[in-house]
Each structure stands twice: as C-alpha cells, then as structure tokens.
A and B are shown apart, each in its own frame.
Chain A
Amino acid sequence: MTATDFGSMLFVFVLATFIGLGVIRRVSRLLYTPLMSLTNAISAIAVVGSIVVTGADHPLTIRILGAVALFASMTNIVSGFMITDRMLKMFKKQ
C-alpha cells in the first residue's frame, strides 16, 4: 500500500465519523434501542471481508476462519435488520 492510500483511508474515516456524529445526534431519543440494532446490522459490513477470505483460493484453515466470520456477520445482518423493523413497527403516535 502506498502513502497516498494510507492518507486517503484516514481521510475517508475522519469524514465518515463526522457525518456519523451529525446524523446520529439527530436520531429520535425514542429510537435508541432500534438505532443500536440497526447500526449493528450495518457494521456487519464485515461480511464483505469475510466473503473474500472464504471464497478466494486460500488454504483450507484460512477459509474455515472466513466461513465462521461470514456466518457471524450474516447472523448480525439478518437478526439486526429484522428485529429493528419489528421494533419500529410498534411505535405508533396514537
């Protein structure tokens, strides 16, 4: 990885953090529990790394580690989005 990559990755990280802070600060206080399950599902984006490790032509032990990680991420994606929606359905104004 070159020096430019290193810099641009940090750049992306800092900007994304600021956007995150700005957006999260406006989230309704009523919805902190669903917020946590939603961000949980989103951070299961680790699924992307897991797919690469599992699916590429790597030694068997490496792929086993990847498959367990893929399973864990997928569990978070499925249960995270589903329970968030289940909770949000319950919030009614009247």
Chain B
Amino acid sequence: MHVISELSAVLATALFIFALYWMNDPKTARRGVRAGITGMTVAVVATWIQPGIIHHGWIVAAIVAGFVVGIPLSQVPLTAVPQRTALSHAFGGLAAGLVGTAEYFLWLGEPGGAHFTPFRTGALVVEVILGFLTFTGSLMAAGKLQEVRWMPQRPVTYPGQNIVNIGVLAIAVGLGVVLVLHPTAPWSGQVFIAIGVLALVFGVLLIIPIGGADMPTVISILNAYAGLAAVAMGFVLDNKLLVTAGALDGSSGLILSIIMCRAMNRSFTNVLFGAFGKAQPAALKGEQKEWKQESVEGAAQLLEQARNVVIVPGYGMAVAQAQHKVRELYDALTKRGVNVKFAIHPVAGRMPGHMNVLLAEANIPYSALVEMDEINPEMPQTDVALVLGANDVVNPAARYNKGTPIYGMPIIDADKAKTVLAVKRSKNPGFAGIDNELYVGDNTWMLFGDAKAVLADLVKQFGGGGIH
C-alpha cells in the first residue's frame, strides 16, 4: 500500500509539472489542464484506497458538495474572474487551516505527544497562520472586487495601522514559538486557538488598506500564501506530494507578484503597508489645462483614416463589459485595412492577465495582443491610440513627476502616438485619485461616456458604407 501511495505521488507531481510546462503556449495549454486533472485523480484515488479510510459516506458527501458549489463557480462571467480567484484562494487557505487544526487536536488527544517534534509543530503553526490569514484576507479581497455594498472600495487607513497589523502578526508568531516549546501543556490548546484567531484577524487587517489598483499584486501574493500553506501541511503530514504541489503554486504566486510589483515600480512591503491612493493629487505643470472633446463622428473619421491603431484597454473596459463592442470595432477597422493592435499593460485590470482573457472571450486573436515592452517602440509610428478605460497605466506623469504615487511606474507610451482618443466614463480622476496628464495633452481628444455606449456609437459610424 505504501508503494502505491509513493508511486502515485511521483506520478501526480510529474503530471503537475507538465501541466504548468504546457502553459507556455496557448496551443498546448489545454493539454496542461488534462494533465492536471489526471494527476489530481491519481492522488485522490491513491489516498482514498488506503486501509485506514473507513468513513466513505462522509468523503462522498463532501466531494458531491464540492461539485455542487464548484460547477457554478466555474461559470461566472469573465469580468468576475478576479473575485472567483480570490474566493478560491480563500477556500485553499480555509482547507489548510482546518486540516492543521484537526491534526493538532488529534495529536493533543494522544498520550505522550510523540507527534510534536519541534519541526512538525513549527510547520503546524505556519500552516495555521498562513491558512487562516489567506482565508479572511482573500474573502476581503473578493468582497472588495465584487464591490459588496458594506465594504469600502477605497483604501481605509488610520494612524498606527501598520503598528497594529505587525503587532497582531508578531503576537501570533510569538504564541507559535511558545507552542513549539510547550506543545502539550494544559493551556496549549487555548494558545493554538488564539494563534488561529489572530491569523484570521490579521487577514482582515491586511486587506483593509488595499485599493482596487493594487489588487493584481495582492491576489498574486495571496496565491503564494495559499501555496505555502499547502507546503506547510505537507511538512505536518509528512506528505511529499503536498510539498511539491504547494511549492509549484507558491512559486507561481511569487513570480506573478514580482512581475506585478515591477510593473508598478513598487516593493512588496510598499504594496502591503503603503496604502496606495492616499497621496495628494499631483499638481500639473503650469496652469490647469482644459480637455478637448471630440465627437463620435470625428473620432470615427480619425480611426478610418489611420493606418496603425493601438487600443489600450483598462479596467474601465471590464466594468462596462465593452469587450464585445471592442471586437466589432476591431472587425470594422480591420476590414478597412487598418492595422489594429492591443497594448496590454501587466497590471491593467484587477488581476494578472485580466485583459487578455476578456479580449480572447470576445474572439480577438491573441496575435493582436501585444505586451507593453513590445508595443512601446511602435507607438511613435501609431496614428491613433485609443485609450479605453485605462488611466494610470498611460499617465505620462509617471515618467518624471516625483510628486505622484505612480512615479517610476512603466507605462504604455500612448502619448507618443500621433493622435490619442481617450474614452472616459466621467470627468473625475481615476481610482488612484491622480489627474492624468494624457487627457490634457496637445494631441489628445476625449470621448466622454460609458465605454460600451461610446464604442457602439463608433461602430455605428462604420455601418452602411462608411463615413461621409
């Protein structure tokens, strides 16, 4: 029996590595999903047939419940994918925290406490802290992304916030050290519960000061935590498969976090403790410039006469559910021989890769989706840059204005295009509360309105034999 579980663990690990390897190309990526499902099935069956497993009814009931909730969760609209992802990090953290709690009290009930080696108890503490803080933190993130009414969307800060947060975590870790030294004392159960509660509280406190623009980074960090919680569970249960699969998830979350941080020119600590969006709005050079507004007819004419058009999508496109109208515009322009590309900033949207998925949903070929670093050298030859609900990622102030919180963040050089058309919902500043200099640029014309409605009007201009 031991041989079966060892071999199945090796097989499942290999399949999981292949699953991720095949994600290097959209052509082979679906094969990766099949490899992942196979690996997971092997692991579940090999565990289930172990002789010590006797309560089969319980297992069947929990698995059926998982399917009942999981299937509808996989059918959410793609604009809701960031929330779903945060929710699944929460579930992952919850599972780790609960298994850790169960193991602790199981071993506490056994005479002698032979299970409590310092390494194992330490791993147990790490598992429970990471699991429970990921649980509440991810629930908070999901709530903010879903824009639950009683939850403030903007970052909430108060004096001494970081001291409170770090203090709560430090007490939890300190109690963890106490537990490693005295795992079976009469009061150890209470200490364990206190650690769990503090971790739950810390998860909430951690996300309170986080705003929407930081969500791609925060989701990635929570992803890494969920993976590391699984690794710690593997240490506790002496199970190598948990360690390898958790390490794969953890390294994925780590790499994505690094990429997101770099794309915002910020550090981890700055994202978690810096409370973006608090900074004072940066003053514009010289006197306040005025917007120049363009009519839909004029914008359509500009687009039709262009040879190269670059569309810069942002969170506003997702909010307006405008991706299908984008596709119609893309079709209308391509049919007229206009070369249309999409400039994708790594942190556009609310999670890594958010824009790519939305545009792929609208059937836009992925060969038209171009990364920031590749599109920027082409911007000076671009006739029209159409900015669609993107804000901070095209703000030229990031290049030189040290007073703005986005200073140093790499941006898409939309302002270098010959003409800029910017679609914006209202005349208010964006999420980060920063004025965007692009909108008052000499070559910029604004189109005010809901992205979907503006695009629908634009597409209408191209219907019935062009513009006159």
Contacts and interface: CB of A to CB of B under 8 A. Distances in A.
* A and B co-occur in one complex: yes
Interface of A: 1, 5-6, 9, 12-13, 16-17, 19-21, 23-59, 61-63, 65-94
Nearest to A41: B36
B95 A72 contact: yes
A28 to B, nearest CB: 6
B67 A74 contact: yes
A30 to B, nearest CB: 5
Interface stretch (B54-62, B156-164, B174-182, B426-434): B54-62
B226 interface: yes
B25 A46 contact: no
Contacts of B84: 37, 79, 83
Contacts of A87: 78, 81, 357, 360-361
User: In the complex, which of the residues B76, B109, B248, B367 has the most CB atoms of chain A within 10 Å of its own CB atom?
Assistant: B248
Nearest to B33: A85
Contacts of A48: 43-44, 47, 239, 241-242
A75 B66 contact: yes
B20 A20 contact: yes
Contacts of B211: none
Consensus secondary structure, chain A interface: helix
Interface of B: 12-13, 16-17, 19-21, 23-27, 29-30, 32-33, 36-37, 39-40, 43-44, 47-48, 50, 52-56, 58-59, 61-63, 65-67, 69-71, 73-76, 78, 81, 84-85, 88-89, 91-92, 94-96, 98-99, 101-103, 105-106, 109, 117, 119-120, 219-220, 223, 226-227, 229-231, 233-235, 237-256, 344, 346, 351-354, 356-357, 360-361, 363, 365-367, 369, 371
B71 A78 contact: yes
Given A32-B353, A52-B237, A67-B58, A72 B242 contact: no
Contacts of B96: 46, 69
A21 B249 contact: no
B187 to A, nearest CB: 20
Given A1-B238, A39-B248, A70-B62, A50 B71 contact: no
B23 A9 contact: no
Contacts of B237: 49, 52
B99 to A, nearest CB: 5
B58 A63 contact: yes
The 3 closest A-B pairs by CB, nearest first: A74-B66, A78-B70, A32-B353
A39 B59 CA distance: 23
24 contacts: A1-B238, A5-B238, A9-B240, A23-B21, A24-B20, A24-B248, A35-B256, A36-B219, A36-B223, A36-B351, A37-B88, A38-B33, A39-B20, A43-B226, A44-B91, A47-B40, A48-B44, A48-B239, A67-B61, A75-B88, A81-B37, A81-B40, A88-B33, A93-B366
A42 B95 contact: no
A40 B55 contact: no
B120 A1 contact: yes
B93 to A, nearest CB: 9
A80 B33 CA distance: 10
Contacts of A80: 74, 88
B246 A45 contact: yes
A85 B351 CA distance: 18
B108 to A, nearest CB: 11
A46 B233 contact: yes
A68 B17 CA distance: 28
Given A12-B243, A16-B247, A81-B33, A1 B119 contact: yes
Contacts of B53: 51-52, 55-56
A24 B250 CA distance: 11
B44 A34 contact: no
A46 B366 CA distance: 34
Contact of A72 (B39, B91, B227, B360): B91
A59 B109 contact: yes
A89 to B, nearest CB: 7
A79 B255 CA distance: 23
Most buried by B among A50, A62, A63, A75: A75
A58 to B, nearest CB: 6
B61 A75 contact: no
Given A57-B52, A69-B98, A33 B70 contact: no
A39 B227 contact: yes
Nearest to B56: A55
Contacts of A62: 102, 105-106
A31 B357 CA distance: 8
A81 to B, nearest CB: 5
Given A52-B47, A58-B106, A70-B63, A42 B248 contact: yes
Nearest to A77: B40
Given A28-B25, A39-B252, A85-B30, A69 B40 contact: no
Contact of A55 (B48, B89, B102): B48
